[in-house]
Amino acid sequence: MTDGVDRERLWISDDAMRALGHRVVDALVERWSSMEAMAIPPTPPREVVRARLAEPMPRQGRPPAEVIERAVRDVLGDAAPTGHPRFFGFIPSPSNFAAVLADALVAGFNPFGGNFVEAPGPHELERVTVGWLRDACDFDADAAGLFVSGGSMANLTALCVAREVKLGGEPKKSARIYVSEQAHGSIAKGLRVLGFRRECVVPVPTDDAFRMNPVVLDELIRLDRVAGNSPFAVVATVGTTNTGAIDPLEAISAVCRRRSLWLHVDGAYGAAARLSPRAREQLHGFALVDSLSLDPHKWLFTPYECGLVLVQDGAALARTFAQPADYLDDVGSDDEPDLQDQGIQLTRSLRALKVWMTFQVFGADAIAAAIDRGVAQAERVGRRVEAMPGWQLACPPSLAICAFRYAPDSMTDEDADALNFGLVPRLAATGEAFVTSTKLRGRRYLRMCTISPRTTDADVDRTLARLDALARRA
Ligand SMILES: Cc1ncc(COP(=O)(O)O)c(C=O)c1O
């Protein structure tokens, strides 16, 4: 035991734990303190990364300090800093250090968060934290929910409950579910996992601002009923990934109520805006929906992985997922279903702690202010783009996303598509900022998602100026 490691017992001595723990904390603080000034590293060629990491399973252990150093340098070092103030791609994850510490505590204590008997505090904490978000989202007091890995799992979980309640658990061939053409791919993926055929998923067109059209939705449902199909659910989105569009929940829920359909809302990215008294004015009708996804690892500033699923009829979660087993009789409870009986995972950790610590350390007012800031930055992007000759917006910015493209009159649509697509790697190569692109009505657009509370006006302006220069030089 020369380096504090007892290899036969897979044990590290107290002193070594402390010293190594400090090294890990130092590496984290180094990453966090250099984040704002660092260049965003470009993606290295795959062969380079492969050559750096390929090796057979080590037969003998190595000094842990060396292993940590290598993990930081060779494994984690080139991962995109998704919390960087000029990382505007996809939906970033500008997390916070209090939540990082929560994850460290959870990894160390390793609670089994599936039931009350094994981890009473963790189990109750998840109920409390889910309750905060349930109230912020206007769900009833007897609604229930739990934390899962992210939006994809939250959507899958909710759709599974919808299938159970509306179709008795059977993904029958005639079942029909209506999904905005702008919905996130996790909806189609989840429905595939649940056994629905492709034809069961009916795309619903959107308006000029990429919001689901409730009149067309109603007509599609009527036509399907006439054709003998079985409409059972609608998926709306609050904050689409492409443009941040908010589907009109009140009108959509009126259709669902009239026709007895389940309404799931994918708010993985946008529903967190309910936490802001200002932004929530745009988000109506939450009390009218049956289930909701909301990702704390996006706009509630926690690290991956953290998604929330909420179901208005709380008992439906246990009706869908409870799975008694003789080997679990010792930890069962008759008065209240445990979390292991309300979702897909049996063994589950404590994602709630990072949400709870975020609110405890910073307070809900600071979170609300950070959300407002993200919305204001997207509005700034919109104003600046409108003032840049040759550039156009896809639609006005919504929540914290703005989609736009360089397409001067002299350029064909096809050339503009190619140019905008090429701007993504060209901007990334500068290391200065990172944006991603998408297609809207068949045309290529850039998009910036400005949820990072560390993004300044200067960061936005600098990114747009650089894009403009690159576009003109192309
Ligand atoms: C609207 C929306 N729904 C679902 C998801 C999927 O979430 P996750 O990647 O956490 O599984 C995303 C991801 O960006 C999203 O933007």
Short-list 334, 380, 182, 202, CA closest to 266: 182
Q: Ligand 1, residue 153: give the atom nearest the CA.
A: 11
Q: Ligand 1, residue 267: give the atom nearest the CA.
A: 1
Six token digits for residue 87 = 């990382």
How far apart are the CA of 227 and the centre of ligand 1, in A?
33
Residue 132 burial (C-beta neighbours within 10 Å; 0-12, 13-18, 19+):
middle
- Report CA Rg, the chain: 24
- Which residue CA neighbors atom 8 of ligand 1 most closely? 151
How far apart are the CA of 64 and the centre of ligand 1, in A?
36
pLDDT at 57 over 80: yes
What is the predicted pLDDT for the residue at 216? 98
Is-contact 435 446, C-beta < 8 A? yes
What distances in angstroms separate CA 361 from CA 164, 186, 320, 398, 452, one per listed residue?
39, 32, 35, 29, 18
Bridge partners for 87 per DSSP: 434
- Which residue CA neighbors atom 16 of ligand 1 most closely? 241
How far apart are the CA of 410 and the centre of ligand 1, in A?
37
Around ligand 1, the residues with Cβ closer than 6 Å are 91, 150-152, 184, 186, 237, 241, 266, 268-269, 295, 307
What is the predicted pLDDT for the residue at 409? 97
Residue 334 burial (C-beta neighbours within 10 Å; 0-12, 13-18, 19+):
exposed
Instruction: List the Cα angle 144/149/398 in 5-degree steps.
Output: 85
How far apart are the CA of 248 and the centre of ligand 1, in A?
19
Confidence at 335, pLDDT banded by 50, 70, 90: confident
- At 275-321, the pLDDT tens digits run 999 999 999 999 999 999 999 999 999 999 999 999 999 999 999 99
Reduced to 3 states (helix: H, G, I; strand: E, B; else coil), residue 254 is helix
How far apart are the CA of 90 and the centre of ligand 1, in A?
9
| Residue of 88, 147, 152 best suited for mutating to test ligand 1, as the one with most atoms within 8 Å of CB | 152
How far apart are the CA of 133 and the centre of ligand 1, in A?
18
How far apart are the CA of 176 and the centre of ligand 1, in A?
22
Q: What is the mean pLDDT of residues 48-57?
A: 97
What is the predicted pLDDT for the residue at 25? 98
How many percent of the chain have pLDDT more than 90? 98
How far apart are the CA of 186 and the centre of ligand 1, in A?
7
pTM above threshold 0.85: yes
What is the predicted pLDDT for the residue at 257? 98
Q: What is the mean pLDDT of residues 313-335?
A: 93
| Residue of 295, 299, 304 best suited for mutating to test ligand 1, as the one with most atoms within 8 Å of CB | 295
Is-contact 354 332, C-beta < 8 A? no
- At 156-165, the pLDDT tens digits run 999 999 999 9
What is the predicted pLDDT for the residue at 435? 98
Six token digits for residue 192 = 């595939």
Q: Ligand 1, residue 307: give the atom nearest the CA.
A: 10
What is the predicted pLDDT for the residue at 104? 98
C-alpha torsion sign, points 58, 60, 61, 62 = negative
> CA–CA separation, 373 vs 82, rounded Å?
17
DSSP codes of every residue in 148-209: ESSHHHHHHHHHHHHHHHHHTT---TTEEEEEETT--HHHHHHHHHTT--GGGEEEE-B-TT
Q: Ligand 1, residue 155: give the atom nearest the CA.
A: 4
Q: Ligand 1, residue 239: give the atom nearest the CA.
A: 1
Is-contact 375 455, C-beta < 8 A? no
Six token digits for residue 47 = 């062969």
Q: What is the mean pLDDT of residues 172-200?
A: 98
C-alpha torsion sign, points 205, 211, 214, 217 = positive
Report the 10 Å Cβ neighbour count for 124: 12
How many percent of the chain have pLDDT more than 70? 100
What is the predicted pLDDT for the residue at 281? 93
- At 351-375, the pLDDT tens digits run 999 999 999 999 999 999 999 999 9
- Which residue CA neighbors atom 14 of ligand 1 most closely? 91
Q: What is the mean pLDDT of residues 128-142?
A: 97
- Which residue CA neighbors atom 6 of ligand 1 most closely? 151
What is the predicted pLDDT for the residue at 1? 56
What is the predicted pLDDT for the residue at 333? 76
How far apart are the CA of 151 and the centre of ligand 1, in A?
5
- At 438-465, the pLDDT tens digits run 999 999 999 999 999 999 999 999 999 9
What is the predicted pLDDT for the residue at 332? 81
- Which residue CA neighbors atom 4 of ligand 1 most closely? 151
